[in-house]
């Protein structure tokens, strides 16, 4: 998810069901888009994925219009996933996983070679 996608998102409003206060969500989405913009430019952001995951919004009063809560939550989940990829350590963890995978493959290939040698197949 990129910052322009957050800015372009159009969330459905409803008068029934679980819904969030429009102004509060809009303000937070502006913060989320700004955080993504920072990371896209190579600068860390003060807003983190955990801030997004734990954000709570006011519910709208009885039959008042508000953003559909599920739609807001889905959008913010996508933003949190992207921020986790940008945040410090994500690249290091990915490199470590690739290293570990190469190491395991090397060990497997060595074991297979040794087995072929024992069988006289080499």
Per-residue confidence in pLDDT tens, the chain, 122 aa: 999 999 999 999 999 889 999 999 999 999 999 999 999 998 889 999 999 999 999 999 888 899 999 999 999 999 999 999 998 776 666 677 778 889 999 999 999 999 998 888 75
Nearest to 112 by CA among 122, 98, 102: 122
Q: What integer pLDDT is reported at residue 101 of this predicted model?
A: 87
Q: Which two tokens stand for residue 94?
A: 């990915």
Global pTM value: 0.71
Q: What integer pLDDT is reported at residue 92 of this predicted model?
A: 65
The rounded Cα 90 to chain-centroid distance in angstroms is 11
Q: What integer pLDDT is reported at residue 91 of this predicted model?
A: 61
Looking at residue 59, the DSSP 8-state letter turns out to be: B
Q: Which two tokens stand for residue 17?
A: 């069901």
Number of other CB atoms surrounding residue 84 within 10 Å: 15
Give the residue ranges of DSSP H helices in 49-89.
49-53, 69-86
What backbone phi and psi angles, to 5 degrees, belong to 21?
A: -65, 125
What residue segments make up the domains of the chain, in order of their start? 3-87, 89-122
> Residue 13 pairs with which residues in a beta bridge?
67
């Amino acid at each position: 998810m990129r910052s322009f996608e957050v800015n372009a998102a159009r969330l459905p409003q409803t008068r029934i069901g679980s819904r969030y206060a429009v102004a509060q969500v809009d303000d937070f989405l502006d913060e989320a888009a700004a955080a993504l913009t920072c990371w896209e430019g190579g600068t860390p952001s003060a807003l983190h994925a955990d801030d997004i995951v734990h954000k709570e919004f006011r519910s709208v009063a009885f039959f008042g219009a508000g953003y559909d809560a599920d739609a807001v939550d889905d959008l913010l989940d996508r933003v949190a996933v992207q921020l986790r990829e940008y945040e410090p350590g994500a690249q290091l963890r990915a490199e470590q996983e690739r290293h570990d995978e190469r190491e395991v493959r090397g060990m497997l290939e060595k074991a297979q070679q040794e087995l072929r040698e024992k069988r006289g197949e080499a």
